[in-house]
Structure 1
Amino acid sequence: MRAVLHSILTIIFTLEFFIGNLGNGFIALVQCMELRKRRKFPSADHFLTALAISRFALIWVLFLDSFVFIQSPLLMTRNTLRLIQTAWNISNHCSIWFATSLSIFYLFKIAIFSNYLFLYLKQTVKRVVLVTLLLSMLLLFLNIFLEIKHIDVWIYETKRNITNGLNSNSFSEFSRLISIPSLMFTLVPFGVSLIAFLLLIFSLTKHVRKMQYYTKGCKDVRTMAHTTALQTVVAFLLLYATFFLSLVVEVSTLEMDESLMFLFAKVTIMIFPSIHSCIFILKHNKLRQDLLSVLKWLQYWCKRVKTLDS
């Protein structure tokens, strides 16, 4: 039974890997072609392109991380650990914070508030997002510094106390030790996105009440913009919550040495960078149209191949 479950989880993980590569690769390719054609496109598309590239990198880091820790634990040397953890921190940080930047961008572009500070930030939304990303780099550097320090200390203690290889219990404690700071740092962008979500809801409620005096239940453009932005942010928050809980499960299973639960955690972690990008494609009008064009071209190409074969 365990072997069957392990095979199923491996297949799901592989499917998520390919879906994530195709989805994020498609977004990055389309956006880069659009930039080359138009030389300029909306700021939100810049963040979306950066998000797709970071998600593409994150998926490969997750794949290599799973291969090293599950298939080839003997490869866990000091340099390998430092390289994997640094790559994981950078790709995960960029993935989360670029998605958070989109939430901030949607908030200031769509929400309606008469507050002077909000109006000022609304006029300088690009600068606000860039400053947010720059400040988030401090968290990234701090996280990398702490994890590299833990790795060096653990390697030193292992070489001093163990002469015949790595001790699994000490490695479980080490993994939990370096994972806890990462979990704490991932809560910050979640809180920022949650605040943006609540402010969007408040703005939508206020706008709907105001429009009731002018229209009879008709949805205007701003209401639809609020709804679309809320759907995008809600999808991000739900998948982000799943991602965070999966990290918690992964940390807890390290101590139990339960490979099946560890693989399940990896499968659920992979959902975030893979499925979230597919949601962006479905919600983005230009990306959705390009996807339909590609599917129609593939359908035409398959029919032509069948005709030539017959």
Structure 2
Amino acid sequence: MAAFATRSAAFLGLAVVLCFLAGAASAQQLSPNFYSRSCPNLASIVRSGMTAALQTERRMGASILRLFFHDCFVNGCDGSILLDDTSTFTGEKNAGPNANSARGFEVIDAIKTRVEAACRATVSCADILALAARDGVNLLGGPTWSVPLGRKDSRTASQSAANANLPGPGSSLATLIAMFGNKNLSPRDMTALSGAHTIGRSQCQFFRNRIYNERNINASFAALRQRTCPRSGGDGNLAPFDVQTADGFDNAYYQNLVGQRGLLHSDQELFNGGSQDALVRQYSSSPSQFSADFVTAMLKMGGLLPSSGTQTEVRLNCRRPN
């Protein structure tokens, strides 16, 4: 990535000042230096954990980034997606957008164990997830940025909210713009954040209709994907979003869209004669612009926080309330 993009990303991170209400507590400020005294080794612990995870499985970077997205879009970045179901609530892990596809929980668990050993009852699971998502992107070749910290963990989760707030793979451009807009994220933010699909994979069941029935798709690309995604069966078979650099964070996703090689219907909607076509073309030819806009959008998304009155805490175990 261009040095300019990385420097811009770091500056944007340091410049962000966000406030939120944690439960009934007074307003708190998010800051990259939030744990500078209480847990000075936090950043190195998280990065070490992500480095180990990617050495074992490089696509884990995409999985952790997806967890962060799916956490923030449901009642704010509060670690709620990490909670297991309990007798008092049905959580988000088995909501439609997450069931049998959300993964990486054990990576966050392992990092949390190390953080707790260094700084007992200090760092929230939500902040660990935010840092891990950033490091996953950077370790796969993407930009880095200063992550504002100071989030708290929710004590509950909502499967219904997850089903209602997360856009699906068949979403139209209008739906994507509206759902991101509901989170105060602009169409430009949405298009930049969609570039997360430059890494990772999708299950056959989510792109089958596109490769067999849609017309705005490159014929050779459709044939390639049909080899491992039959018309029936094989629902869980995986295919990379970006066939060129499946585990490299770059701007190839947008180049694919221009060539009608978007894997999901919702991907190709960004370049299908609509309002985002010009921006997709820009990102396809300017990796530095994509990096800068991606960082800006990640910081905005990371500032989505629970509403006042939400009961929060610093969980000792990311899977259950204290």
Superposed pair shares fold, TM > 0.5: no
Give 1 or 2: higher strand fraction: 2
Taking structure 1 as the reference length, the TM-score comes to 0.31
Taking structure 2 as the reference length, the TM-score comes to 0.30
